[in-house]
Amino acid sequence: MRPNFLKLNHPASWLAQGAVVLLLNSPLVIPQSTAADVAKVYQSSCAACHDHSVFNAPKKGDKVTWDKLKQQKGMPALINSVKGGMTQMPAGGLCENCNEKDFKALIEFMSK
């Protein structure tokens, strides 16, 4: 016999559905890293500085500079730079909910 809470009309299943809707509507949470999500988080967190090289931030799309950074420092070091912050970059790059996977996706996004 199936347990009662699996039935669709049970309040517990409404709650579960509500949680999924909340997750999908939150701009800073990346449930599955799709290109569109990365672009959104980039816009709300990183673009303020990385779109126009504010404070000399390596610019989005400046492939030469990003390739150099990836080669010289390596991806793990770049992720750590964002996590811990740098001279001019706040820790987390203004994305409080980002994890290492998100930062990696954002860095890949910026280097294109």
**Identity of the residue, 18 or 31, whose beta carbon is nearer to ligand HEC in the bound complex:** 31
- From candidates 12, 19, 20, 86, binder to ligand HEC by CB under 6 A: 86
**In Å, how far are 24, 33, 50 from 6, measured between CA atoms?**
22, 29, 47
Which string of DSSP letters, residue by residue, matches 50-72?
Answer: HTTTGGGPPPTT-HHHHHHHHHH
User: Minimum CB separation from ligand HEC for residue 64, in Å?
Assistant: 14
- Type of residue numbered 104: K
Residue 104 interacts with ligand HEC (CB under 6 A): yes or no: no
Distance CA 25, CA 35 (A): 16
DSSP 6: G
Structure tokens at 57: 């931030």
**Identity of the residue, 23 or 54, whose beta carbon is nearer to ligand HEC in the bound complex:** 54
Per-residue binder mask for ligand HEC (CB under 6 A), 35-74, x = binder: ----------xx-xxx---xxxxx----------x---x-
- From candidates 30, 38, 60, 103, binder to ligand HEC by CB under 6 A: 103
- Consecutive H or E run containing 76: helix 75-84
**Identity of the residue, 20 or 100, whose beta carbon is nearer to ligand HEC in the bound complex:** 100
**Identity of the residue, 2 or 55, whose beta carbon is nearer to ligand HEC in the bound complex:** 55
